[in-house]
Amino acid sequence: MASDQVTIDELLDVQQDVSQEILKLISNYKKLHSAERKSQAGYHKIKAKTLNEKWSIIQGNDETIRKTGELPENHEYFTFFNDIRSTVQKYQEAINKDAESLSKKTAKLEDGQRQQPSLDPKNTKVEDGQRQQPTVEPKVTALCRRQKAMIASLYRTLQQPMEHTAVELIRNLWTQIQDVHFRLYEEVEIPEENGYDIKEYLKAERGVQGV
């Protein structure tokens, strides 16, 4: 691992990387094909949780950056921070608004009847008029296994001396791990219900910070 003392340049790199993850998350949220998912239970909670977690990373690093006093007041980083903050606030409000709208629609639909949780039709088998438990998607299972293997490889590499080749390998592995993470949320509404270990992903994300 790198030394405990993280340089200002490393912090700036992390800020850029996490901001790109935020922008990709927002882009996926805005896609037209996600309209159906936005009407399903749990969607907004997952998106808000992921957005808030990544924004917390940026806020924490920003506090550290400012305390160092190494950047001049006119440094482009401060414009970058203000821009990403405005973007996050905008979509936090959008997600909350969509969630509130869904809640109102659900309340109207209930009208004295108990509303069943909304499930992705792809993950639900209905036989003889009875709703069955969601089935596990084989593709999702394969993606989870692939990511688990890459995270294990990432941890092994993180234990090695931080030479150039090791750093490049770590960055390549993390790029692939992120790609699987976003693909999982495109495949199913709540990957955790299909065996996805989001905590392990977040642990790995913390592990690569500063590398």
Give residue-wise pLDDT tens across range 88-145. 999 999 888 887 877 777 767 665 555 455 545 555 554 544 545 456 678 888 888 8
Beta bridge partners of 130: 127
Give residue-wise pLDDT tens across range 34-61. 555 556 657 778 888 899 999 999 999 9
Record the pTM.
0.49
Helices 8-30, 76-110: crossing angle, 10 deg rounding = 30
What confidence score (pLDDT) does residue 123 get?
Answer: 52
Residue 1 predicted with pLDDT over 50: no
**Which of 29-33, 149-153, 192-196 has the highest mean predicted lDDT (pLDDT)?**
149-153
What confidence score (pLDDT) does residue 2 get?
Answer: 41
Phi, psi angle pair for 156, to nearest 5°: -65, -40
